[in-house]
Amino acid sequence: MGRILKAYETRFRWLLRSARARRLDQGVEALINKARQFSATHQIPLADGLARVQEELALRPQFRTVNHSSAPVIFYCDAGLGGLARWLRAAGYEAFWEAGIDDDELLRRARTLAATILTTDSMLMERRVLRNQVIPSLWLPPTLGISEQLRLVFREFNLQLRTPRCIRCGGELRRADKEELRGRVPPRTYRWLDEYFVCTRCGQAFWHGTHWTRIVKELESLRG
């Protein structure tokens, strides 16, 4: 819990500083105490209380202006955020992810690509290049589910839904001729669907089946 608490302290301090709040130490302490009180009152883990306080803070008008003026073009998710990377691609954003990538390599690649790092690792956020925003980054509470992670990223960077990208690798999708994909599409799908896409990077074929309908429904909820 110590690492998570420290990460929230850093996050609260950054939000307060960005909103030009005075007395940062007192402000952070007040928010931590509020989370502890909420946790005790509702008999929930402190991590959940901290997440609730951050959520309330983010919804206040004075903190909504903290959002970046322009949306990141590229994201690089740490090794534990493969699910988030796929959903960001479905939402139309280039999101890189590699299982087992170590911190040094993650930082090197993100810097090369001018990517924004998304991570649940509070220790990684202690690296000077992230702490000083040399490489832009966002820490995500490890207790959040994928849909909550996605919603937080959208809110933080004021993102809008874009044309979907390849869920497998993040490449751009192009429309493909149905006949061209005859041998690559399940027969039943081929009979009732006419619209298909192919990734220009990895060559994966896609179509809008029932799985995609569920994805679209989830993404559309981000507009609210």
Task: State how far the Cα of 77 lies from the Cα of 89, in Å rounded to an integer.
Answer: 12
Task: State how far the Cα of 166 lies from the Cα of 174, in Å rounded to an integer.
Answer: 10
The pLDDT score that the predictor gives to residue 156 is 84
Cβ 158 vs Cβ 151: under 8 Å: no
Cβ 117 vs Cβ 156: under 8 Å: no
Question: Which class for 82: exposed (0-12), middle (13-18), buried (19 or more C-beta within 10 A)?
Answer: middle
Task: State how far the Cα of 73 lies from the Cα of 113, in Å rounded to an integer.
Answer: 10
Q: Is 114 helix (H, G, I), strand (E, B) or coil?
A: coil
pTM of structure: 0.81
User: H/E element holding 128?
Assistant: helix 128-131
From the first residue on, what is the mean pLDDT of each consecutive set of 10 residues in the chain (224 residues)?
Answer: 80 81 90 93 89 82 57 88 95 94 95 95 88 88 88 88 93 93 89 92 89 82 72
The pLDDT score that the predictor gives to residue 66 is 47
Q: Which two tokens stand for residue 55?
A: 């959520």
Nearest CA to 218 out of 122, 124, 148 is that of: 148
Task: State how far the Cα of 146 lies from the Cα of 83, in Å rounded to an integer.
Answer: 7
Task: State how far the Cα of 127 lies from the Cα of 110, in Å rounded to an integer.
Answer: 14
The pLDDT score that the predictor gives to residue 7 is 81
Q: What is the CATH number of domain 74-157?
A: 3.40.50
> In the chain, what are the domain boundaries?
2-64, 74-157, 173-223
Q: Is 136 helix (H, G, I), strand (E, B) or coil?
A: coil
Question: Which class for 61: exposed (0-12), middle (13-18), buried (19 or more C-beta within 10 A)?
Answer: exposed
Cβ 10 vs Cβ 24: under 8 Å: no
Concatenating the DSSP letter of every residue in 4-47 gives HHHHHHHHHHHHHHHTT-S-HHHHHHHHHHHHHHHHHHHT--HH
The pLDDT score that the predictor gives to residue 204 is 92
